[in-house]
Amino acid sequence: DGGITQSPKYLFRKEGQNVTLSCEQNLNHDAMYWYRQDPGQGLRLIYYSQIVNDFQKGDIAEGYSVSREKKESFPLTVTSAQKNPTAFYLCASSNGRGREAFFGQGTRLTVV
Amino acid sequence: KNEVEQSPQNLTAQEGEFITINCSYSVGISALHWLQQHPGGGIVSLFMLSSGKKKHGRLIATINIQEKHSSLHITASHPRDSAVYICAVSGDQGAQKLVFGQGTRLTINP
């Protein structure tokens, strides 16, 4: 079945360490997105990519980095520069403007 | 003011009640999405609409483009409908980026 896979579901990280969240899709979608969700807030866009080898910053890109070397994969690295990294991270994909978006199951990152 | 506003933020109802969740937006859109998020966190897309009305089982979504308003209705609500319902819009300019409302936490008591 087609879909988006995020891993891991739960992740613990020591302060000062970088960590990479995985997002893979087999929907053949061109566009992929990373969102962050904090309690009581709507999802906010971190980075997005509309095509392989190209990506743009979203509204809260500071402290994060991404790559898009393959159409299927859009990993997100949470760097030590991110001041408040504990959050729920969601990956999504779609096939263009006005098309349905598909979401992964999310990764809950906790910095200890 | 947020570009997408949902109301109410929290809603508790008894099993069987008719539920309405509202969404207003202030930007031009190419589509509006209704999403469901269960306690585990994963999000499921319920509807995507750009005009009129869509129905899936006990769920109905409507949109009024002129008034920039959408509603999600649940008929004969059930405890398994308890979840956070999120409205999101994709803009009509540039990249397909979703702007999300804050969500409505729905609790249906048996």
Q: Render pLDDT for B21-57 as a digit per residue (tens, 0 to 9).
A: 999 999 888 889 999 998 877 888 899 999 999 999 9
pLDDT band for position B1 (cuts 50, 70, 90)? low
What integer pLDDT is reported at residue B96 of this predicted model?
A: 67
Are the C-beta atoms of residues A55 and A73 closer than 8 Å to each other? no
Are B97 and A33 a contacting pair at CB < 8 A?
yes
Query: A12-44 burial, b for 16+ CB within 10 Å, e for fewer?
Result: ebeeeeebebebbbeeebbbbbbbbbeeeebbb
Q: Spell out, as residue ranges, where chain A has pLDDT lower than 50.
A: none
A94 vs B contacts (CB less than 8 Å): 96
Q: So what's the pLDDT on residue B95?
A: 61
Q: How many CB pairs under 8 A join A and B?
A: 73
Tell me the per-residue pLDDT of A35-60, one tens digit each, with 9 for 90 and over. 999 987 888 999 999 999 999 999 99
User: Is A51 touching B (CB cutoff 8 A)?
Assistant: no
* pLDDT at residue B29 in the model: 87
* Residue from the list B41, B95, B96 with its beta carbon closest to the beta carbon of A99: B96
Best mutation target, A103, A109, A110, to test chain B (most B CBs within 10 A): A103
Encode pLDDT of B55-81 as tens digits. Answer: 999 999 999 999 999 999 999 999 999
Report which of B60, B104, B79 is spatially closest to residue B17, judged by C-alpha positions.
Answer: B79
Is B86–A56 a contact, with Cβ atoms under 8 angstroms apart? no
Q: Residue B102 corresponds to which tokens in the numbers above?
A: 């804050």
pLDDT of residue A101: 82
When the pLDDT of each residue in chain B is averaged and rounded to a whole number, the result is: 92
Report the Cα A54 to chain-centroid distance in Å: 15
The sign of the CA dihedral A40, A42, A44, A50 is positive
The answer to whether A35 touches A14, Cβ cutoff 8 Å, is no
Locus of tokens 């249906």: B108
Q: Which of B45, B96, B105 to mutate to test the interface with A (most CBs of A within 10 A)?
A: B96
Percent of chain B with pLDDT over 90: 75
Amino acid A97: pLDDT? 62
Position B67 scores a pLDDT of: 95
